[in-house]
Structure 1
């Protein structure tokens, strides 16, 4: 038995929440190293009277500059502030590369925005302990993209999200159930994920000042005042969150795919092709369930020594059927497989959007068949 398995619960999950640090500013700095170490802000409008800070790096934050601050206020705090317009096409391109890296570690990846997502690594003990996996994710993001990332490790999504906020930039935090009284309950209620400004204000009026106060509050009072959402927040304050990591949750940044770890390594192309076709069919079933289409296909190959590669190809039109997914996946396999024994194979539909958003393209695609 793999001794690393002892680091994983027999029942329950191990969830990572990966959160890129100052994402837009970090991408700009990676693209232009001359910005390194200088206060940098991304603003939607460079006009000082109308501009609002979208994000800023930690050098700018040291001056007291914050997200949503007016640009003229930020420049009063730091006269040397460098301001750049957001380059969303570039950020989306890098986002796809980030999530492709996440998917090298587990197929169970749920992006929740352009720069953060959940990873379920409950079955990844052969890759190492959760801390070792988190370290390798950080290292790969730094080596390949030159981007910093904070990671929370926990038994559920809420605790993982709270943990990733505890050490920034580039931190890793483990938050176990037994850590909740000392690490979570001491935080002010404003710091709780899911509690907005107005809700926090109403809670403070009822003497709920910390997350611990909410956890210990009368459940009937909380439900009576704050409704079902209040009860959900109270349970999360207790460390309860049953939500699974859902790779099929639809977003422009998300992907849908299937992967399989083989009982025995495969080194015959025909057999790999057969497995790939099965994975394409499974992916089609998930696509139908989610009501989406995608514009790119990614192939993941993990070899016997755990070395993993991902290769991606853009489709000429939106893809949604197994035969088209298989077509592009097979092209990638034939081009990039190095004939070494394969331990895991995965295929993923990327650049996913709801089907109704692509109606025109789909009709055109159908006519060309």
Structure 2
């Protein structure tokens, strides 16, 4: 075989990952309907994921556990075991590195792999079959693999045959395979965007490709619109980035003032901005902080750093800022400042889904999640600086 004129990208998606991990420890659950929940005993428990047996009964992620049990009375429920999931995820990535150093971890259960360099050694389809078999034999987990000339098409392909499918999607296949698909099934088009696209008469991916008034779409959706169109045409050029999700050991932001800041309110306003930026980065990496620090530097360049460690790891601005405000009030002596910084360390991969939901916090949890989703949609469409969450004064 000659040298290819295009890339060969795999997108590998582990099937029903959390549930599959549980069956590794408890093989007797293999053919039973199984749901993973963050809080098994809570009446307010929510399904994190379900295996394919449970899905046949209509059980799916984000479904209240009580509703899932009504749909499937003999549903087996297991509490999430994130230490196990991370361990198997690491083994998964290590296995892929045996084939290529161009591996990009997309999430805990999926990854992109550039295998172009293996083109002359093995046919891409045979290589996909080999990797799929190894993952099953060594990790005891099934997977679906998309084979394509770029990341977007590989991702779309891996979703087409689940579980345990292998799908090749070439650019010449797009008119009869990709373009007839509903627009809401296009990777990158969110639940909020697809109804708006349909209002424009864009019901399928092909409709997006052939839409005449591109400027109108761009006005509504910003730079994402052009990216969607290029992806739908099969022109995604994004490279594999092995370090994209490299987890940092600390996350923080600082700002140097253009003049001396002497008043508490203006200093706190800057501190709040640093908390917002820090919170956004924590969310980007899916991390929570146990130690929160404030850094103050005065006009003579004397610097002090003070920290507070919390028992329950935090992530949101409404959790970070009160701590920073308290540290500032306690340690600022009224001197003029030229720099303030916020830093978080002792980071952990705690997920909100493991938080116990009870009668007293369930409604606020649900409301905050809905608000966070709305804010993120606005940021995606109009930019990150247009809207931010406010801080309730005096909140502790």
Q: TM-score range by the shorter chain?
A: 0.5 to 0.7
CA distance in 2, matches of 1:72, 1:250: 35
Choose 175-184 or 218-227, whichever is displaced more: 218-227
5 Å matches for 1:99-248? 99-218=93-212, 219-248=214-243
Q: In structure 1, what is the Cα distance between the partners aligned to 2:118 and 2:36?
A: 37
C-alpha displacement at 1:30, in angstroms?
Answer: 1.8
User: Max radius of gyration: which structure?
Assistant: 2
**1:95 matches 2:89:** yes
Q: TM-score, normalised by structure 2?
A: 0.61
Q: Does the CA contact (< 8 Å) of 1:48 and 1:70 recur in 2?
A: no
Q: Secondary structure at the match of 1:12?
A: coil
Displacement over 4 Å in runs of 4+: 355-359
Distance 1:47 1:231 in 2: 47
| Cα distance between partner residues in 2 of 1:42 and 1:80 | 14
Asked if the contact 2:105/2:245 (under 8 Å) is kept, the reply is no
The count of aligned residue pairs is 252
SS, match of residue 119 in structure 1? strand
Farther-moved stretch of structure 1 (44-53 vs 179-188): 44-53
TM-score by length of 1: 0.66
Which shows bigger deviation, 22-31 or 39-48?
A: 39-48
Deviation at 1:49, TM superposition (A): 3.0
Task: Extract unaligned runs of 5+ from structure 2.
Answer: 249-342, 348-396
Deviation of the 1:47 alpha carbon: 3.8
Local SS of the residue matching 2:97: helix
Unaligned runs of 5+ in 1: 254-354, 360-369
Q: Which is further off, 220-229 or 66-75? A: 220-229
Distance 1:152 1:60 in 2: 24
Coordinate RMSD, CA, aligned? 1.8
Alpha-carbon deviations, 1:290-334, whole Å to 9, x = none? xxxxxxxxxxxxxxxxxxxxxxxxxxxxxxxxxxxxxxxxxxxxx
Offset at 1:45?
1.4
Q: How does 1:1-369 map to 2 (within 5 A)?
A: 5-6=1-2, 9=4, 11-47=5-41, 49-218=43-212, 219-252=214-247, 357=345
Whole-angstrom distance in 2 between the partners of 1:70 and 1:55: 11
| Mapped contact 1:41–1:83 kept (Cα < 8 A) | yes
